[in-house]
Amino acid sequence: MTEINSMVITHSKASIEDMERSWNGDLEEVLWNLYSNEFVHECVVMKTCNRIEIYVVSPKGSSVLFNFAKSMSFPLQVVEFLDHNESLLHLLRLASGLESMIVGEDQILGQIRDMYLLAKKTGTTGRMLDTAFSKAIQVGKRVRTETEVNRGSVSIGSAAVDLAEMVLGGLEGKMILVIGTGEMGTLVTRALAHRKMDLVYIANRTFRKAQDLADSMGGHAVRFENLAENVQKADVVISATSAPHYVLKRSLIEEAMKGRERDLLLIDIASPRDIESSISQIKHVKLYNIDNLRIINEKNLAQRKEEAKKAEKIVDEELCLLLKQYKQQKADHIVSAIYANVYNVRKQEKERAVTKLRAYHTMGEIESKVLDDLTHSIVNKILAEPTKVLRNAAEMNDDELLDVVSRLFNIDKTPERNDDKCR
């Protein structure tokens, strides 16, 4: 049976080192690599700083994903393989913020939408994944409208600031250096703007972006080439760039710490990491990364426990509606194919009858329309009851009847691949 299967690698089982070792290539390359498999009819790939998720529509989804995980060198002990219903439940929970490291975070909903739209633009989605992701986005919005699960500090950026505040016992009067002006860096600076402190923003090679962010948040922009001297002045450095290499290397931190007695707190929320891990061995340096944010998640989860219950109830309701929608689609596919076949026969036979009648009588538009209406009505009346039976069978999970009807009318239940797209 062709259904949705998924493989999930998340912060719940995998460390940041596992994530870095498990990823090769950009999203589009991985999409095409997966879609090149003859058994994959649709696919969506998602990658964030603390999760990798792959969804496929395939008659052999579990084996396809298992082999794909091995080919991509994913550590299998941290991979979860989900069947159709499990995949749909997980996706709805994910969009609602219930599966995030920071429970209730809003960023995941935008990330789901962006990565789904990339797959759609690339041409690797179809009706099944379109239905699932459209529903997930709708459910994510509903949860945030009807509950307060996203109240307060609910992003990795704000969690990094909370972590700094917890480690230092407060941030008032501290010198904070933020490296990166992308989405995550913006979230960090937004969270910092509500605290009493001096702020410094660093652009990743683009000083103008640092100026724009500093102006909007009431901070100060500094040049990236002066990174070493600004690290030397800072009490806290939060790094959140999208660089493919280390931004803070051990040699730079060793130079910055010469003759320094006060501690330097480094928090790395980039993926791949911005800060070389051996820096933690330097005296007076404390290094934290995404894995250390779990403690903030536990705190947030306790605060949002009641709101999370409300969100889970919404997810359960919407999952039932989604499963019912898929059942209807299964029957509708068969019904549409039957109608198309029978209507084709109706058209051919009507035209043959008109040709024969014209040999004996003059046929005008009225006579032709009468025949057209007659044959149309006959088809609809004959197929009305079978249509009800098929839709009821789908709702009752009677796959055996659906399979028999598909074979009887020679209907291919496998979704068509969109192979007209080119890279």
222 pairs with which residues across the strands?
202
393/361 Cα distance (integer angstroms): 47
What distances in angstroms separate CA 256 from CA 43, 139, 175, 203, one per listed residue? 47, 48, 15, 19
Is the separation of the CB atoms in 192 and 220 below 8 Å? Answer: no
Q: Is 320 a catalytic residue?
A: no
413/226 Cα distance (integer angstroms): 62
Which residue among the candidates 43, 49, 320, 422 is catalytic per the annotation? 49
Count of CB atoms situated within 10 Å of the CB of 182: 14
Which token pair is 357? 């009648």
Q: Given the DSSP bridges, would you call strands 3-10 and 51-58 parallel, antiparallel or unpaired?
A: antiparallel
48 pairs with which residues across the strands?
51
Catalytic residues: 49
